[in-house]
Chain A
Amino acid sequence: MKYLKYIAIVLMGNVFVSCSDFLEPVPSSSITTDNYYTTAEELETGLIGVYAAIKGINSRDKDENHGVQWEFYVTEMRTDNTSTKSPDSEDASDAGQLESLDVLPTNNFVGNYYTSFFQVVYRANVILANLDVVTDSTRAAAIEAEAKFLRAYAYFNLVRLFGDLPLIDRVITPSETEIQFTRVSTSLIYDLIISDLETAINGGLSTTYKTRATKAAAQGLLAKVYLSLDTPNYLQAQLLCEEIINSKKYSLQSNFYNVFYNERNSEIIFAIGYNSNVQDNSQIFSAEWMNAVGNTSGVNYATTDVVAAIDANGGNRKDVSYRQDPLTLFGGTVRYQVAKYFPDGATGGSDGQTFTGLPQLAGNDWIVLRYADILLMHSEAILAGAAETTNTNAINSYMEVRVRAGFDALSDRPTKLTKDALLLERRVEFAFENHRLFDLIRFDAAQSVLSAFATANGFEFTSTDLLLPIPQNEINLSRSSNTVMAQNPGYN
């Protein structure tokens, strides 16, 4: 028994030793945002993750974020450009609600876009919160510029679709419900967008990749922001467009087909990159727009309205823009498919459904900004909201786009450029590229054009339809906090 006290001492010693870190190791197999970012290289991988959020997940699962892959639902399908294959004013499906301008706050596509793009904002904020791990100040500035470009891109789309929004300019915790659910006015959102894009322009961005932020992409986006403001800043927009034009780094493709099927060509300023045949890197929207291999109801089909506009004013852009659905060639109502984004360029043979690979794993990039847009924005900035202009520079930029489409530089040149002609040119040049809704709103033409289109198709349009509802899910979440989110007018 006399050893008992020694045993007790040894055991007591163990108690003190056992409090070392040995028993609380840092888990080597798990990476969290708190411990991951320690070097500039790691932060760059996080930056690629922001692009992944825009790219979205290639699937049809409504619970997964689809990013820009489902953007056509909430933009193009709400205009006179596209509809489901068989438009139906009584169709209460998610897609039917959008085409008939009768959207419910519970609409899945609306909720998906909202969460997808706030995910982009969140991931960009994570990058900005970890900038201090970059020791090289030049590199830090470039990473900051890229993250802010992406945040501005996401907010610019969100603010145009939803109006007033929560302003999330840093990583917030789940308990910060006041920031999460307080909608601030669009002018404050635009202040953030403009300051982010100015940082991006002056941040020394690389020009290596057209599928990543560049100075010209930031300039072009900022030009569009200036044109979209309640009180547009036409002069700044014009200067930005001229900087891109005078840089001589971009040019129109002589063949309109190559704009879409020759990736990262001279006309592309910014695109969201996809790769073929890789589930994680490919896109599904190309297949979704062909109902033989995509969505059975057939979504984003060209309306007869846009087909007529392209036939009359599109010049040689017609065949690249749309085609008759082969499935209707053998009977049934004639319907038209978008031809700008066939899966990897494969048209599906004579029946529109025969492919060698999987059309659902398409690699077509999604074009966000291209040189023709810069040229037509240049004309728009000089027109400066007036009904018409005789300004030579405005007509020159407009004609550059028209001449590529096969019109004659001299005999087809107008003596004055009207606002209506410019809007029409944008419609046929950018058909199915998700520009139409924003163009109509920017040109103050949405109410007249969309109410006429709605009446002709048995839909009902009211001016409050121009903003989407805040997703019901967000409003429900906000109810458990002290800050209840307000719905947009016209929705219950």
Chain B
Amino acid sequence: MKTIINLKKYVSKVCFGALALIACVSVTSCDPTIDALAFDLPEANSKPDLTPPTANFKATVTLDYLTYNFSNISTSATDYLWDYGDGNTSTGVDGINTFPGEGTYKVTLTASDKLGQKSIFTMDIEVVEPDVPVILPPVLIFPDFENDAEKNEWKAPFKGTMQTTTSGGYYEGARGGKLPQDGSRAGYQEFDITPNANFVLRFKYRIRDREPLQTGEMYVRIVKPLTISSYDLAVIESNSIASATYVESDTTTGSLQDGAIFFNSGANTRLAILFHNELDECYIDSFKIEVNQ
């Protein structure tokens, strides 16, 4: 019997102890001031966004001046919003937009990542209709030889200075250019020119039969700028991009003739007119270069 009472005492002691422990635990477990037992709150222990997005783009105009390609060069971003400043928007990685007309548009790219970090880049796009390239004819200095001193603008470095004339029927206006029959003189003038365009050089010329036994010839050329200091036909010919040769005949000695040389300026920004003669006296006047599109 005694053992049964002892057993009861023992069991009730253990039960009480367990109860006290449960009560104790249930009281303390609800106490948030104990750090070890606190719940992890969302965002706790998370790292800051070490690589936030950086928005950036490049814009290139297409052959249609209103349409631009936008190349996205942002970093660390996943989502994009393009605002083209004309009411159009898009969300692709790269952008393309056709603007309604000329003007300045504020194009904005908002780049964001999945943490909601944003970066904004803005660029002003100036939409301007490109000028149709206007080709201007080269400007010649004293192309009409109206005054004797004007011949000095036509000095060739490798021959004597040309002459001018007032012989009736051999010029237009007040005076004209002249090369004596000994071939010792020439006319040469450089000018600036638009590359790769078509032009025509127009002028008047006439040959005079001073030497009955010789057949005179006159050469008019468009040449690349020459740097030779003495006459060298091979160099002149290799630098000619167009030329015309006029031979003494009943026609060329009869009256002032119209001369024309058609040429393409090629890969040159500077060219020159060169005229020289052989075996008889030659006259030239009224140079003009026209655009020939």
- Chain A residues within 8 Å of B, Cβ to Cβ: 235, 238-239, 242, 381-382, 384, 387, 389, 391-394, 419, 444, 447-448, 451, 462-464, 489-490
- Which residues of B25-78 are within 8 A (CB) of A? 56, 58, 60, 62-63, 69, 71-75
CA distance A43 to B267 in the complex (A): 39
Smallest CB-CB separation from B77: which chain A residue?
A489
Bound form: Cα–Cα A419–B58 in Å: 23
Bound together, the chains give a CA A464 to CA B56 distance in angstroms of: 12
Residues of B within 8 A of A (CB): 56, 58, 60, 62-63, 69, 71-75, 93-94, 96, 195-196, 264, 266-267, 269
Contact of B71 among A392, A394, A419, A463 (CB under 8 A): A463
Cβ-neighbour of B73 out of A394, A448, A489 (below 8 A): A489
Min Cβ gap A124→B in Å is 31
- Chain B residue numbers with a CB within 8 Å of A419 are 63
- A75 CB to closest chain B CB (Å) equals 20
Q: Chain B residues near A451 (CB, 8 Å)?
A: 94
A387 near B56 with CB under 8 A, answer no
Closest B residue by C-beta to A388: B63
Q: How far is the CA of A393 from the CA of B198 in the complex (A)?
A: 11
Query: Is the pair B63, A464 in contact by a Cβ cutoff of 8 Å?
Result: no
Q: Give 15 new A-B contacts, CB below 8 A, not counting A235-B267, A393-B266.
A: A235-B269, A238-B195, A238-B266, A238-B267, A384-B196, A391-B264, A393-B196, A393-B264, A448-B69, A462-B72, A463-B72, A463-B73, A464-B72, A464-B73, A489-B56
Measured between alpha carbons, how far is A419 from B62 in the docked complex, in Å?
12
User: Which of these, A235, A381, A387, A462, contacts B93 with CB under 8 Å?
Assistant: A462
Given the contacts A235-B269, A463-B94, A489 and B62 also touching, CB distance less than 8 Å: no
Would you list the 6 A-B pairs with minimal beta carbon distance, nearest first? A463-B71, A489-B73, A238-B267, A462-B93, A239-B267, A463-B94
Which residues in B have their C-beta under 8 angstroms from that of A235?
195, 267, 269
The answer to whether A464 and B71 have CB atoms under 8 Å apart is: yes
Using CB atoms, name the residue of chain A closest to B61. A444
* Inter-subunit contact A444/B73 (CB<8 Å): no
The smallest beta-carbon distance between A239 and chain B, in angstroms, is: 5
| A462, chain B: closest CB distance, angstroms | 4
Docked complex Cα distance between A57 and B58 (Å):
39
The docked-state distance in angstroms from the alpha carbon of A158 to that of B58 is 21
How far in angstroms is the closest Cβ of chain B from A327?
38
Contact (Cβ within 8 A) B267 A463: no
Report Cα–Cα, A387/B65, bound state, in Å.
11
21 contacts between A and B (CB under 8 A): A235-B267, A238-B195, A242-B267, A382-B196, A384-B196, A387-B63, A389-B196, A391-B196, A444-B60, A447-B69, A447-B71, A451-B94, A462-B94, A463-B58, A463-B69, A463-B71, A463-B93, A464-B73, A489-B56, A489-B72, A490-B73
Where chain A touches its partner, the secondary structure class is: helix
Q: Closest A residue to B267 by CB, please name it.
A: A238
Assembled-state Cα–Cα distance A156/B71 (Å)? 23
A444 to B196 CA separation, bound complex (whole angstroms): 22
Smallest CB–CB gap between A352 and chain B, Å? 40
**CB of B193, distance to nearest CB on chain A (Å):** 12
Report the nearest A residue to B95, measured CB to CB.
A463
Residues of A within 8 A of B60 (CB): 444
Closest residue on chain A to residue B56 by CB atoms: A489
Q: Which of A389, A392, A490 has the most CB of B within 10 A?
A: A490
Which A residues are CB-close (under 8 A) to B75? 489
Give A171 to B69 CA distance when docked, in angstroms.
41
Least CB distance from A232 to B in Å reads 13
Say how far A423's CB is from chain B's closest CB, in angstroms. 12
Contacts of A447 in B (CB 8 A): 69, 71, 94, 96
By a CB distance below 8 angstroms, the chain A residues around B62 are: 444
Across the interface, name the chain A residue whose C-beta is closest to B76: A492
Most buried by B among A389, A392, A447, A451: A447
Chain B residues with CB under 8 A of A389: 196
When chains A and B are docked, how far (Å) is the Cα of A391 from the Cα of B198?
8
For B56, list chain A residues within 8 Å (CB).
489
Which chain A positions have C-beta within 8 A of B195?
235, 238
How far apart are the CA atoms of A238 and B196 in the complex, in Å? 10
CA distance A447 to B58 in the complex (A): 13
A residues in contact with B96, CB < 8 Å? 447
CB distance from A375 to the nearest CB of B (A): 15
Q: How far is the CA of A464 from the CA of B72 in the complex (A)?
A: 7
Chain B residue numbers with a CB within 8 Å of A393 are 196, 264, 266
Contact of A489 among B63, B74, B196, B266 (CB under 8 A): B74
> From B93, which residue of chain A is reached at the shortest CB distance?
A462
The smallest beta-carbon distance between A386 and chain B, in angstroms, is 8
Greatest chain B CB density within 10 A among A239, A444, A451, A463 is at A463
Give the Cβ gap from A181 to chain B, nearest Cβ, in Å. 18
Neighbouring A residues of B269 by C-beta, 8 Å: 235
Cα distance, A444 to B96, chains bound together (Å): 14
Q: Complex formed: what's the CA distance from A444 to B60 in Å?
A: 9
Taking CB atoms, residues of chain B closer than 8 Å to A384 are 196
CA distance A384 to B264 in the complex (A): 16
Most buried by A among B93, B96, B196, B266: B196
List of A residues within 8 angstroms of B264 by Cβ? 391-393
- In the complex, chain A residues whose CB is within 8 Å of the CB of B69: 447-448, 463
Q: Whole-angstrom distance between the alpha carbons of A471 and B165 in the complex?
A: 77
**In the complex, how many angstroms separate the beta carbon of A230 from the nearest chain B beta carbon?**
10
Chain A nearest Cβ from B200, distance in angstroms: 14
Select the residue from B58, B73, B264 with max chain A CB neighbours within 10 A: B73
CB distance from B34 to the nearest CB of A (A): 43
- A238→B268 CA distance, assembly (Å): 10
- Name the residue on B nearest A381 (C-beta): B267
B271 shortest CB reach to chain A, Å: 14
Q: Which residue of B lies closest to A239 (CB)?
A: B267
Distance A393 CA – B241 CA, assembled complex (angstroms)? 13
The CA of A302 and the CA of B269, in the complex, are separated in Å by 44
Closest to B94 in A: A463
Closest B-chain residue to A384, C-beta based?
Answer: B196
A382 to B264, CA, bound (A): 12
Interchain CA distance A384-B60 in the complex, whole Å = 16
Instruction: Say how far A227's CB is from chain B's closest CB, in angstroms.
Output: 13
In the docked arrangement, what's the CA distance between A234 and B266, Å?
Answer: 12
CA distance A269 to B134 in the complex (A): 37
* Complex CA distance for A238 and B195, rounded to whole angstroms: 10
Contacts of B266 in A (CB 8 A): 238, 242, 393
